[in-house]
Structure 1
Amino acid sequence: MAGSNLAKSAQGRGRPKARDEVLLDRELEDLPPDLRWREWMLRIEAVIFASAEPVTRETLARVVGRDCSIDLLIDDLQEELRSRPYELVAVAGGWQHRTRSRYADSIRASSVPARSGTPTLSEFEAMVLMAVGYFQPVTRAELGKIFGKEISRDTIGALRGAGFVASGPRSPTPGAPYTYVTTKHFLSAYGFETLRDLPDIEALEDAGLLSRRVDDVDDEPEEQAEEPQDEQIERDIT
């Protein structure tokens, strides 16, 4: 008896569990339509609430029926949360729970540790990040021309460390320097769904906050960056 149990246990351990072997009734055909829809709504809300990052449509489709409309579920959830201090927003190609901005002062006054706080940047680092957002893929030399002074590796390192920028493709200019691009974390942290949601660059230029002097960059070789060439690029411009 014991030997039989041990044999079964060993046999079970020897068979790897398939990724999709965890069963979930997605269709819920045994429920009436209204309860089925309600359960799908709750599943969507639970997944988004549990995730530290924006949740994509493809991920949400794993927990609801095959012919279920994700958009309609999201619409119903957003309507249901209309009176709550938090909302469901589309950011970085997915959806995420966000506290409504009018409660920001209350949260700051409470001094509670935020679930995922945005790293604090200096004013200059924030300006460089803004320039990368608009002119990407952009090299350090091009950023230097925009600001009229050299952009240090420490500044780029701070933006990389915060998860806001990553290495882009090599520039076709002499020396093939690395370029820099923004990441999906940048979109998520600042509440943008895509880079098309960035403020109008012409308005920023009129306000004197940004210049297009990048076109005046000399074709001088730039010292190559230390980052490995195969670094993963997190970019979302769609």
Structure 2
Amino acid sequence: MPIEPLKPILEAALLAAGQPLSLVQLCALFGEDEGVSREDVARALEALAADCAGRGVELKEVASGFRYQVRTTFQPWVARLWTEKPARYSRALLETLALIAYRQPITRPEIEQIRGVVVSSSIIKTLEEREWIRVVGHRDVPGRPALYGTTRAFLDYFNLKSLDELPPLSAIRDLQDPQLTLAEAAASLGPPASDDGPPRETAAATDLPAEPFPARADGAATHRDS
């Protein structure tokens, strides 16, 4: 089927949804009698993405599906539409999130062993409230501590389709950049401490932007870590 008639329909649906739409959801827009295949929808999405070249918006595929968003290049100007400044999270929170993202599934005691300090309950609570992490199981050891992993919402927020798109730790060099990424936070900790080795000294706490990866297009305010 020609894809040109499909493009405005898909574009309208993506703009109206206000959230990512999966390929299955987009295919469900069409009835069986319309003769639109999954391949037709996929080709139309590719064409819509190509149409965004040189524009201020892009069609991006994230974990939950496809969405239109402002290109990060224009985020500084778009952000001025909102008077409230984005919340900023502590380095401790970002380091905790980085460890969960890169070494999941991981328990709270394991995070504490690597960081060398107790992980505040407020950090775990904030990450769970943001729906960036969740309990994915329990370690089969005395006490059965919870195992934490990241969520689909985490991938969506940080503009990732899958965990495979996380930047490799080996690629991180400069930790002085104030826009600290998850990879930089994890890299700053080094390898996990051995069971009988001394704990690592934790990095000094500092306020960091709530969006270590490129900012979301909607510029919505986020929660602040206590």
**Same fold, judged at TM 0.5 (above):** yes
Query: C-alpha separation between the residues in 2 aligned to 1:170 and 1:217?
Result: 23
AA at the equivalent of 1:47: A
In the superposition, the TM-score normalised over structure 2's length comes to 0.71
Q: Is residue 51 of structure 1 aligned with residue 17 of structure 2?
A: yes
Cα distance change of structure 1 residues 96 and 112 upon mapping to structure 2, 3 Å threshold = farther
Question: How has the CA–CA distance of structure 1 residues 119 and 76 changed in structure 2, closer, same or farther, with 3 Å as cutoff?
Answer: farther
Give the direction of change, closer, same or farther, for the CA distance of 1:202–1:214 in structure 2 (3 Å limit).
farther
Contact 1:204 1:210 in 2 (8 A): no
**Contact 1:145/1:214 (8 A) holds in 2:** yes
* More RCO (CA 8 Å, sep 6+): 2
Instruction: Report Cα offsets for 1:87-133 as digits up to 9, x if no partner.
Output: 101111411111011111111233268xxx98643222112111110
Report what 2:146 is aligned to: 178
Corresponding residue number in structure 2 for 1:151:
119
Instruction: Provide the identity percentage.
Output: 23
What secondary structure, in the 3-state scheme, does the structure 2 residue paired with 1:150 have? Answer: coil
Bigger share in helix: 1
CA distance in 2 between partners of 1:49 and 1:106 (Å): 21
The answer to whether the 8 Å contact 2:27/2:38 transfers is no
Aligned in 2, Cα 1:83/1:189: closer, same or farther, shift over 3 Å? same
CA contact (8 A) 1:61 1:70 kept: yes
**1:79-228 equivalences in 2 (<5 Å):** 79-111=50-82, 120-204=88-172, 208-213=187-192, 216=195
Provide, for residues 51-95 of structure 1, a one-character-per-residue CA deviation record: whole Å limited to 9, x for no partner: 233211111111241354232111110121223211101111411
Q: CA RMSD in A?
A: 2.6
What is the distance in 2 between the residues matched to 1:71 and 1:112? 38
Aligned length: 181
Q: Distance between the aligned counterparts of 1:97 and 1:103, measured in 2?
A: 14
Higher strand share: 2
CA contact (8 A) 1:41 1:77 kept: yes
User: C-alpha distance in 1, partners of 2:119/2:139?
Assistant: 17
Amino acid at match of 1:122: S
Q: Kindly provide the amino acid, as one letter, of the partner of residue 78 in structure 2.
A: I
Q: Per-residue deviation at 1:147?
A: 0.7
TM-score (ref. length: structure 1): 0.68
Runs (5+) with no aligned partner, structure 2:
31-35, 176-186, 198-226
Partner AA of 1:143 in structure 2: I
Structure with the greater alpha carbon radius of gyration: 1
The answer to whether the Cα contact below 8 Å between 1:205 and 1:211 also exists between their aligned partners in 2 is no
Q: What letter corresponds to residue 75 of structure 1 in structure 2?
A: E
